Structure 1
Amino acid sequence: MKEFINNIHHINQDVLDEYINQWVYKKVSKKTLLTSAGQTERFIYFIVKGACKSYYLNNGKEHVMFFGYEPSFCGVIESFLTQTPSKYYLETISDCVFYRLPYSVHEEYLKKHREIERLFRISTEQFLVGIIERHHELMALSAKARFLNFMDRSPHLLRIASQKDIASYLRIDPTNFSKFMNSEQG
């Protein structure tokens, strides 16, 4: 976690140690619902091992928005930051090991240490850039181009996430996704 944070923004080691000591270690099983739609996100997570997905339901069908995987921060970020009800779900897709930090402690450290505030400003900027890039990809690229970008960026998710979830994330019909997979392997 220290290395991950220092790659985003270097923080005084005493401050970083104090901050990291506030995070609580947790292990959960695959298919554990961490946050439900309508529930306010109370934690930010740092994934050490495993992966999760964020999704919303429309007529009972899951639509995957994001994957979070090691090593990274994860959570229903806008619900966490604004302390308002989430519009979607956060669920583990594998057994997970992570650390989590409650909102109140996070806020305390943002106010107490400018370095921590800067870390999360930079993290939020990176997250925003990623969302804009994803939006562009969904709107401007063909299904095949989205698939190929995914294969370049996150092929390891094929071992963790179902093809159905990945197809949903890429907004590709599962049958077409399967055809793309077969053409990649052939």
Structure 2
Amino acid sequence: MKPTDLIELIESHQLIEKELIFERHTFLKTAGSSDTNIYFVEEGSLRVYVMDKNEERTIRFGYKKNILVSLDSFLTEKPSEFVIQALKKTRVKVIPKKRFMEFIHRDEANLKLWVKILEDLVIQQIEREKDLLIASPKERYERVLRRSPILFQEVSNRHIANYLRMTPETLSRLKKS
């Protein structure tokens, strides 16, 4: 299921509580806070990162027609070290956990949808871990370019390089080659 299919389903079941606008560089979630909302990005772009000593480590992006969530906090309802920050002015639709959980438990098809979403997230995480452990910078760049070409239009090279675990100069050289 594509994110656009999922959001149509969510909208048709009136799960969206509100719309929020975040100015550039503002935070949807800070480290040490809990956040059980699901965010559907209408416009703009976001990043999810954690701090490693004094360095930000970008782990995910969200841009138009993407869904973003602090999954550990969503599942446990406990504080998380994930930070969600707007990279540019961003408008999101907010789906509260309570409404979403009522929806997925309403019938078996909705529960199967939730399982599929979680399976997709696990597969994405496994691919990312493999990339970071064994793939060369060029292979990481090419895979992200194939999977998410729009990312390079929505997010600065500095943040993409951080996500790919390379310097902005290395990313620039790879883009030119």
TM-score grouping bracket, smaller chain normalisation: 0.7 to 0.9
Deviations 1:133-183 (A, max 9, x none): 1111111210111112222222322232221111110011232222223x2
Q: Show the counterpart of 1:105.
A: 99
Amino acid at match of 1:157: L
Other-structure match for 1:159: 153
- Tell me, yes or no, if structure 1 residue 28 matches structure 2 residue 22: yes
Cα distance in 1, alignment partners of residues 21 and 57 from structure 2: 26
Moved more, 150-159 or 31-40: 150-159
Q: Determine the structure 2 residue equivalent to 1:5.
A: 6
Q: Is it true that 1:128 corresponds to 2:122 in the alignment?
A: yes
| 1:4 partner amino acid | D
Larger radius of gyration: 1
Equivalent residue for 2:168, pick from 163, 166, 174: 174
Amino acid at match of 2:159: D
What is residue 76 of structure 1 aligned with on the other side?
A: 70
Q: Name the structure 2 match of 1:143.
A: 137
- 3-state DSSP of counterpart to 1:65: strand
Change beyond 3 A, Cα 1:127–1:49: same
| Structure 2 unaligned regions, length at least 5 | none
Q: 1:117 aligns with which of 111, 118, 137?
A: 111
TM-superposed CA distance for 1:84, in Å, is 1.5
Partner of residue 61, structure 1: 55
Code of the residue aligned with 1:98 in structure 2: it is V
- Distance in 1, matches of 2:43 and 2:141, equals 25
AA in 2 matched with 1:66: R
Distance in 2 (alpha carbons) for counterparts of 1:2 and 1:178: 30
Number of residues paired by the alignment? 176
- Cα RMSD over matched residues? 2.4
Give the equivalent residue in structure 2 for 1:90.
Answer: 84
Q: Please give the alpha-carbon distance, in whole angstroms, between the structure 2 residues aligned to 1:6 and 1:24.
A: 14
Q: Quick check: 1:45–1:99 contact (8 Å CA) kept in 2? A: yes
Q: Which residue of 2 aligns with 1:51?
A: 45
How far residue 21 of structure 1 moved from its aligned partner, in angstroms, is: 4.7
Counterpart of 1:5, as a letter, is L
Say whether the 8 Å CA contact 1:53–1:93 is kept in structure 2.
yes
Contact 1:94 1:160 in 2 (8 A): no
Q: Determine if contact 2:36/2:75 at 8 Å carries over to the other structure.
A: no
